Structure 1
Amino acid sequence: MAEIVLVHGMAQEQETADSLEQTWLPALAGGIRTAGYGDLADRIWRNHHSEGSIDVRMAAYGDLFTTPDAQGSDDGLDALDPEELTLAESLAAEWLNRAAGRADHPDHEIAVRELGFLDPAHEAMGIKEEAVRSMINAATQLPWFGLRAMAVAELLKRPLRQVTAYMTDRALHDEIQSRVLAHVGPETKVIVGHSLGSVVAYEVAAQQLTNRLPLLLTIGSPLGLRSIIYDRLQPRPPEYPSGTRRWVNIADRNDLVAAEPNLTGLFERNRPADAILESGWTVKNGAKPHQGEYYLGKREVGKPIAETLNS
């Protein structure tokens, strides 16, 4: 069993545990080194094959989304079922409104403009395909998404389907969690979840662990998205993962996936008196605010991990 378990996020279906570890481990070590813990950083990456190394494992599940049954055979919006259309509209609206609502957001002006172009009649139409299509097309004008490199369907439909599938397909949900649990044991001190992986990590910590977890670390997390994630979490209503001694949540202010970076008001239910929830730190990941490796390389991530390993 690993001392640190990593859980990746959406759209990693072409990656494996080994390939992800090759990019995540040096980033993780870099964040710990930047926080002032060079010896621990060496034990994670530079000397990770030596005696005394820290065992870090990636719980990979992207391959579960590579089959036609999991991904769908059509990359257009026509293939989305009603629930996926609901999620697509909600997520696109969240991205647009969050960027438009902050004057200092780099996509503020474009978001305001695109919201202004939307047909006001769409609100009365409810969740209909044309309304969803207009909302998604508007959201994809934000430079944050880098559409020069990715098509709309690739960018939005596949991640949306992965979120939807995890939240609604019980067999898939349980298989993803089992892959995390395969690396978790009494030795495990830290679970790190990024993006959708933070949702997986939270639910594992809240429902599946038999041993006390010293640190749950969530980065770029959508756990605060009420209409899409929060209201669908297990347990329901959501609560503090009682077996977790310390939970640290970190978000880049420009990371649109982390729609609500401060989780303290959302997960206070049943929090033990000695448990700590720290949510509100801000990091700057530059042009790729949602990039997992960019989060891992920050001292704000490295410091709580190092403190936990040294405790």
Structure 2
Amino acid sequence: MHGIRCYRYLARSGSVEKAAQALAAEWGTALGAGYDGVSYEQGGIDAAFYAHLLHLGTAQGAAAEDPELLGATGRQMLADWATALGAPDEVLMGRAGLPVRQIADWIARRHGDLAKRVVVLFCREADTYVRDADSQRRERVRDELSDVLERRRPRVVIAHSLGSVVAYETLWHRPVELDVLITLGSPLGLPGAIRDRLSLGPGNEGRIGQRPPGVRRWVNVADIGDVVAIPRDLPAVFPGIDSHYEVSLGVVASHKATRYLAVPEVAAELASLR
């Protein structure tokens, strides 16, 4: 289950099916031996592709990274993010007016321009998903994963970034039997911006933080410098996690899905199922 900035797979391939195939091939290569170029039936991987459902058709290229173009709830999400990252009061002053340029610039000064771009892009796509708990858009995104789960009946779901939010919600709304759920660079525990906007379906609201029903084991991996995986110690607020690994992917690649997939901890978890 992919994260942000994946619409480009569709733009290159021309169809959702081909985009999913390209993503699965890339992730398979990152996972290494036994997955690269191997069909699902032979133990390979499949992908649930949903980027087109969150694509607003606006703000391309550099404009997509402009915090001023975020909507009201996206600006609030950015402020929540800066708070979690430790922004001082003077940066958040006038929070009601959400001085997004000032907040984004603080993130750049503290964590670098790449981190700022990642956070702004995340706020754009994540806010589109979580803005309305009952939106058709949100339900259709969950449907994409549900369709793959029903069709393929996998043993493992690997979910990166925003995809971990989608996967977590989907596995509550429509439980399936899984050996393991692996979340990578997950923002699930971010106060306000994500955790407080999660939708687990009727009767499940009070179960946020628990392991989804049907999932036998939940593994989380967070890079020590990943500004999206906030808070990094996710088990502190999601006690349903069985194993948590902190890794170092390097400054430039601290949120990159393929780098997360290539860490020994992921390989070991998958190898244990063979």
Tell me the TM-score normalised to structure 1 length. 0.72
Q: Which of the residues 73, 95, 101 maps onto 1:133?
A: 101
Q: 1:199 to 1:133 in 2, by over 3 A?
A: same
| Matched residue, 1:284 | 248
Gaps of 5+ in 2: 10-18
Mapped to 1, the partners of 2:222 and 2:262 lie a distance apart of 13
Alignment partner for residue 6 of structure 2, among 12, 22, 46? 12
CA distance in structure 2 between the partners assigned to 1:87 and 1:19 by the alignment? 31
SS at match of 2:26: helix
Correspondence 1:188 to 2:154: yes
How far the C-alpha of 1:56 sits from its partner, in A, is 1.0
- The answer to whether residue 217 in structure 2 is matched with residue 253 in structure 1 is no
Match of 1:159 among 122, 131, 134: 122
Cα distance between partner residues in 2 of 1:262 and 1:119: 27
Structure 1 alignment gaps of length 5 or more: 1-6, 30-40, 98-114
* 1:23 maps onto 2:34 in alignment: no
What's the CA shift string for 1:89-115, capped at 9, x where partnerless? 1113333x2xxxxxxxxxxxxxxxxx6
Identity of aligned residues (%): 27
Work out the CA distance in 2 between the residues paired with 1:255 and 1:213.
27
Report the counterpart of residue 112 of structure 1 in structure 2.
Answer: none
In the alignment, the residues of structure 1 paired with residue 224 and residue 29 of structure 2 have an alpha-carbon distance, to the nearest angstrom, of 24
| Alpha-carbon distance in structure 1 between the residues aligned to 2:232 and 2:258 | 18
Matched with 1:208 is 174
CA distance in 2, matches of 1:14, 1:300: 28
Counterpart position of 2:267: 302
For residues 126 and 59 of structure 2, the distance between their equivalents in structure 1, rounded to whole angstroms, comes to 12
Aligned ranges 1:111-122 → 2 under 5 Å: 119=90, 122=92
Q: RMSD of the alignment, in Å?
A: 2.7
Which residue of 236, 244, 259 corresponds with 2:215?
Answer: 244
SS, match of residue 305 in structure 1: helix
Residues 1:255 and 1:69: Cα distance change in structure 2 (over 3 Å): closer
Change beyond 3 A, Cα 1:247–1:132? same
Give the drift of 1:258. 0.8
Does structure 2 conserve the Cα–Cα contact (< 8 Å) formed by 1:94 and 1:259?
yes
Of Structure 1 and Structure 2, which has the larger fraction of its residues in strand? 1
TM superposition shift of 1:20: 1.7
Tell me how far apart the structure 2 counterparts of residues 14 and 251 of structure 1 sit (CA, whole Å): 25
Q: Is 1:90 the counterpart of 2:65 in the alignment?
A: no
Q: Is the 8 A contact 1:77 1:157 kept in 2?
A: yes
Q: How many angstroms does 1:49 deviate by?
A: 4.8
Q: Look up the SS of the partner of 1:184 in the other structure.
A: helix
Normalised by the length of structure 2, the TM-score is 0.81
In structure 1, C-alpha distance between the alignment counterparts of 2:255 and 2:112, rounded to whole Å: 9
1:220-235 pair list within 5 angstroms = 220-235=185-200
CA distance in 2, matches of 1:225, 1:297: 25
CA distance in 2, matches of 1:156, 1:246: 29
- Aligned to 1:249, the other structure's residue is in SS state strand
Larger helix proportion of the pair = 2
- Please give the alpha-carbon distance, in whole angstroms, between the structure 1 residues aligned to 2:236 and 2:119: 29
Aligned pairs (5 A) from 1:60-79: 60-68=49-57, 75=64, 76-79=66-69
Shift of residue 69 of structure 1? 7.0
Contact 1:8 1:60 in 2 (8 A): yes
Higher relative contact order (CA 8 A, sep 6+): 1
Partner Cα separation in structure 2 for residue 290 and residue 77 of structure 1: 19
Report the residue type matching 1:191 in the other structure. V
